[in-house]
């Protein structure tokens, strides 16, 4: 996998300097750097937003802001991102990254519980990026689906969960079982259509019909 990641990086266009800085700082200043979405997913988010030209995007689970910056870099001039992160200890790092990337004006950072924040925003979204507590994915889906416009998309990250969800004997831990339930729930939802992209740890790309 390391060889593949290196080859992908060497064969792809470079990333924004602010993202390189943020990746280094995340390794230095947090204990969970593996939670970064990384350049593969980051570039997908930027390109997807460039293609879709969304006016309003919602992100559940910002971590240190790598994915939020990636989304904002792809937004049209009048596009805006509401980014929700529950860990208030990350706020300073997140905002510094936004400033370095020059996207601070395109993003509203909301610190707190998404279950309380999202309904209070009272907005309709073109795209939702989901990368928060894996044990709550089904609840998040039920929460964001009503605020997603028809024809809009949910991109749910980590839905392959290091291969645990499709192992011959899937793990019984709460996170694995919830992602299995989430993927099944999406597949069976007649209000949507989806497919899973095997990029990094898997993205469930879901379109609201």
Domain CATH code at residue 131: 3.40.50.150
Most distant pair of Cα atoms in the chain: their distance: 48
pLDDT tier at 1, thresholds 50, 70, 90: low
Comparison of pLDDT for 167 and 154, the residue scoring more: 154
pLDDT at 2: 73
Both tokens of 61, joined, read: 């689970």
Separation CA 74–CA 28 (nearest Å): 27
Q: Decide: residue 6, CB within 10 A, 0-12 exposed, 13-18 middle, 19+ buried.
A: exposed
Question: Token match 């924004």: residue?
Answer: 16
Range of the structural domain that residue 135 is part of: 2-208
Q: Are 29 and 90 in contact (CB under 8 A)?
A: no
Other CB atoms within a 10 A radius of the CB of residue 47 amount to 13
> Which tens digit of pLDDT belongs to each residue from 58-88?
999 999 999 999 999 999 999 999 999 999 9
> Which tens digit of pLDDT belongs to each residue from 95-148?
999 999 999 999 999 999 999 999 999 999 999 999 999 999 999 999 999 999
Comparison of pLDDT for 6 and 85, the residue scoring more: 85
Separation CA 199–CA 43 (nearest Å): 11
Whether the per-residue pLDDT at 198 is higher than 80: the answer is yes
Task: Measure Cα distances from 80 to 60, 103, 133, 149 in Å.
Answer: 14, 10, 23, 15
pLDDT at 114: 97
Number of domains in the chain: 1
Both tokens of 73, joined, read: 């870099």
């Amino acid at each position: 996998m390391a060889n593949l990641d290196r080859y992908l990086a060497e064969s792809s266009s470079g990333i924004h300097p602010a993202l390189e800085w943020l990746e280094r700082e995340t390794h230095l200043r947090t204990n969970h750097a593996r939670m970064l979405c990384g350049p593969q997913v980051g570039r997908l988010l930027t390109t997807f937003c460039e293609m879709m030209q969304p006016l309003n995007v919602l992100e559940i689970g910002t971590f240190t802001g790598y994915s939020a910056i990636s989304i904002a870099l792809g937004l049209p001039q009048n596009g805006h991102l509401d980014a929700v992160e529950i860990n208030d200890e990350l706020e300073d790092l997140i905002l510094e990254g936004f400033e370095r990337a020059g996207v601070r004006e395109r993003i509203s950072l909301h610190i707190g519980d998404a279950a309380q924040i999202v309904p209070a925003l009272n907005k309709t979204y073109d795209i939702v990026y989901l990368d928060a507590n894996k044990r709550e994915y089904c609840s998040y889906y039920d929460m964001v689906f009503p605020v997603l416009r028809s024809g809009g998309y949910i991109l749910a990250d980590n839905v392959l969960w290091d291969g645990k969800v499709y192992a011959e004997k899937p793990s019984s831990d709460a996170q694995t079982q919830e992602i299995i339930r989430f993927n099944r729930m999406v597949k069976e939802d007649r209000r949507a259509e989806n497919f899973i992209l095997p990029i990094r740890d898997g993205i469930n790309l879901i379109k609201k019909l």
